[in-house]
Structure 1
Amino acid sequence: MNEKNNEQQGLQLELPQEVAQGEYANFAIITHSSSDFIVDFARVLPGLPKAQVKSRVILAPEHAKRLLAALQENIMRYEKEFGAIRIPSQDPSPIAPFDLPKGEA
């Protein structure tokens, strides 16, 4: 198969059954170093003193910026279809009952 055919077909993704189920997260912590962005997706439950990290994704800075652009585009599409996403509070204090790491790894 030549390179032109590969471009036309696009990237094929395999989605294993255990990954297809997904993990629910209602909190994310993002840190970075000079070479990586680390996104920890966590679940905060009422009445529990600790949040549990459900998934950690490590991205190169270029991919983090591409993810940002993709999220912005998809949020714009979502809001066009369903209306504005409302954030209940602009309180700068963290919603989690624990200390958050600073923006560096």
Structure 2
Amino acid sequence: MGDDSRKSDSKSLKLNIKIDDDVAQGVYANLAMVVHGESEFMLDFMFLQPGRKEAKVGSRVILSPLQAKRLLSALADNVNRYERRFGAIPVGANGSKDIIH
């Protein structure tokens, strides 16, 4: 297991995070699906092989609405910082029209 210490928000809460080696390897996904109900958001991360019409879910994450909103904010912040450093991420000619909703 690995350790990761991170500071949280402006309160500077130190959180020791432990991660199993097999989880630390990660799961590659080139497609994600998000659905929600009143009390949770469900994120399915999938790998869609080129030329195939079937994607396999490699990981599912279920979040409370509050955590989903915090994740949205964290992703937006990180994408903005990434683009300032490396340039804009191209989304294709049709923009979000190419995304499955």
After TM superposition, the score normalised by the length of structure 1 is 0.77
- The structure whose Rg is larger is 1
Residue by residue, what CA displacement relative to the aligned partner does 1:37-84 show, whole Å, maximum 9, x if unpaired?
Answer: 000000000122310000000000000000000000000100010001
Deviation at 1:8, TM superposition (A): 6.1
After TM superposition, list the pairs within 5 Å mapping 1:15-26 onto structure 2: 15-26=19-30
After TM superposition, the score normalised by the length of structure 2 is 0.80
| Aligned residues: CA RMSD | 2.0
What is the match of residue 92 of structure 1?
Answer: 97
In terms of fraction of residues, the more strand-rich structure is 2
What is the match of residue 49 of structure 1?
Answer: 53
Larger relative contact order (Cα-Cα within 8 Å, sequence gap ≥ 6): 1
Identity %: 44
Runs of 4+ displaced beyond 2 Å:
89-95
Unpaired segments of 5 or more residues in structure 2?
1-10
Decide which of 72, 83, 86 is 1:82's aligned counterpart: 86
Unpaired segments of 5 or more residues in structure 1?
1-6, 101-105
Aligned residues: 90
What is the match of residue 4 of structure 1?
Answer: none
